[in-house]
Chains A and B, each alone.
Chain A
Amino acid sequence: MKKSTKLWLIVLLIWSLSPLIWQLYSSFCTTDVLIKPFEIHSNRWTLDNYKQILNADIGFSKYIINSTIVGISTTFLTILIAIPGSYSLARLPVKIHNLTRSLILIAALSPYVLLFLALLEMARKFNLANNLILLSLPYSALSLPLALLLLASAFKDIPKELEEASRIEGLSSFQTVRFILLPLIKPSIASTAILVFLFSWNEYPIALSWLSNPEALTLPVAIARLAGSSIYSVPYGAYAAATVLGSIPLLLIVLIFQRQIVSGLTNGAIKG
């Protein structure tokens, strides 16, 4: 590796990590240290910030569990709908295919936050609010465009001859999809699933309008609720602790599924 490359890599790592490291550092500091960092303090380090977050009336783990429930149910539902959908999309006649695909593309590109009000009205009308499993309905719809495009491109890569061959062998279309095609696009399914999971774990504006019960909040909403000044003091140490705790699950996901995420994003770009 060239020296300059190494240097730039270090710059890159500092850029990516320093805000996180600052949060980590703050989360272990006492309030006095945060206010006057250059003075000498008898007790610099503390676990109080974490205790404060973990001992709150609704424990932090509750939010993580809620986010996980939404994440898993959304991923499951999206993949379930997107697999047949994308298969059909990939096999449509060219003209209809192009039309449908551009409609889906427009949906994928539109800034979805603007939907919050209409979705709130829907939740009210059909009594869907404050239910984490039902929240996966709008979430699935919001992740569908991406999932459809990614999986359709994977299906398209499979030569048609393969399907014909299996038909000659006497397999039904369901069997063809189940036993021939699905195993072939497994990697694409995996990376799509991870991307959908990340999206629904992190989603904020729709969760903000669908969830009002403090017990049902997902992590991003709970964290945002922490923001805003308290009346009594500026407890940034506790905020920092909350951001650190909230980051850990995602840190693990990124480290474990790094390859799937990258291939999902890059495939999306190449063919989407």
Chain B
Amino acid sequence: MIILLVPSLLLLFLVFGIPFFRYIWLSLHSFSVSTSLIPINNNGANWIRLINDERFWQDVIQTARFAILSVSLEIIIALCIALLLNQSWKGKGLIRAITLLPWALPTTIMALGWRWIFNNPYGPIEQFLSLVNLSELNILSSPYLTWIATVVADVWKTTPFVALILLAGLQTIPNDLYEALYIEGGNARDALLKITIPLLKPYLFISMIFRFSQAFGVFDLIQVMTGGGPAGSTESLALYAYLNAMRFLDFGYSSTIVIGSFIILVVICITSWIILKQTIYLVKQ
């Protein structure tokens, strides 16, 4: 019986397992244009460089900040959308399809679109501001605004996905519960806080974890929309690893960044899991 699983496991090992070991090996070697693309053991110099690399840590913070803000916004907006779509009316299928559309489009297509929308001075936002005589925002030239713009683009694209998962969760909650609550004199707010959210917790949790790890690896959107600028303020870890490999031809260091990012992601996940458990424990007390 288990033999049927072998092809799957083999393919998974080939594409997920081998690279993992290869990255670890590469991260212990100098393997770049300076070594004429020949790997040379360097006794962990890459790792020392990584720890002292301000840019790497800046990217860690920027990537985490991007992931946290976009996932939080996505969960909140998606919950609203799910509650809205959970009601029944005519033409629901069509509306569902339309809300799903942003998720189904290739990221690169819309990243290009957003670049045009936020363009200064010709994009619609700046045009509108100049029409009502407000000063220009220069969204894509300000290190404080550009990353927000990338969050907006990401939220626009992935919220439908989260909304659908939450919608599935909503549909598992029996209506009787709400009826009982209303009979006891509860209001809509109580319904949301006492029934919907507690029962939706596993779904919220799943979509949060999934989305966080995807957002932590954000690449397409950043590469096409901002290229990491201005002043490197939107560069993500994946983009930094990519630049090191494809533009700087430093494969050893690129691999070190990959493994480093992976470790940081695991650390973040475990810490937040422990914190979550602790708070739940404390609340229950």
Interface of A with B (CB < 8 Å)?
Answer: 1, 5, 8-9, 12-13, 15-17, 19-20, 22-23, 26, 34-35, 37-38, 81-82, 84-85, 87-89, 91-92, 96, 100, 104, 107-122, 137-138, 140-142, 144-145, 148, 198, 201-202, 204-205, 209, 219-221, 223-224, 226-227, 234, 236, 239-240, 242-243, 246-247, 250-251, 253-255, 258-259, 261-262, 265-270, 272
Question: With an 8 A cutoff between CB atoms, is B138 at the interface?
Answer: no
Closest CB-CB distance, A58 to chain B, in whole Å? 17
User: Which one, B7, B89, B102, B115, contacts A16 given CB within 8 A?
Assistant: B102
A-B contact pairs, 22 of them (CB 8 A): A5-B87, A13-B95, A16-B99, A16-B101, A19-B102, A20-B102, A23-B116, A26-B116, A84-B7, A113-B219, A117-B254, A118-B22, A201-B106, A202-B105, A209-B246, A224-B111, A239-B116, A240-B113, A242-B112, A254-B101, A258-B100, A269-B169
Chain B contact-residue range equals 35 or more
Question: With an 8 A cutoff between CB atoms, is B61 at the interface?
Answer: no
A201 to B22, CA, bound (A): 28
Q: How many A-B residue pairs have CB under 8 A?
A: 241
Question: With an 8 A cutoff between CB atoms, is B56 at the interface?
Answer: no
Q: Which of B76-110 contact A (CB under 8 A)?
A: 80-81, 84, 87, 89, 93, 95-102, 104-110
Q: Is the CB of B8 within 8 A of A144?
A: yes
Interface of B with A (CB < 8 Å)?
Answer: 1-5, 7-9, 11-12, 14-16, 18-19, 22-23, 26, 80-81, 84, 87, 89, 93, 95-102, 104-117, 119, 122, 124, 127, 131, 156, 160-161, 164-165, 167-169, 171-172, 203, 206-207, 209-210, 213-214, 216-217, 219-220, 223-224, 238, 241-242, 245-246, 251, 254-255, 258, 261-262, 265
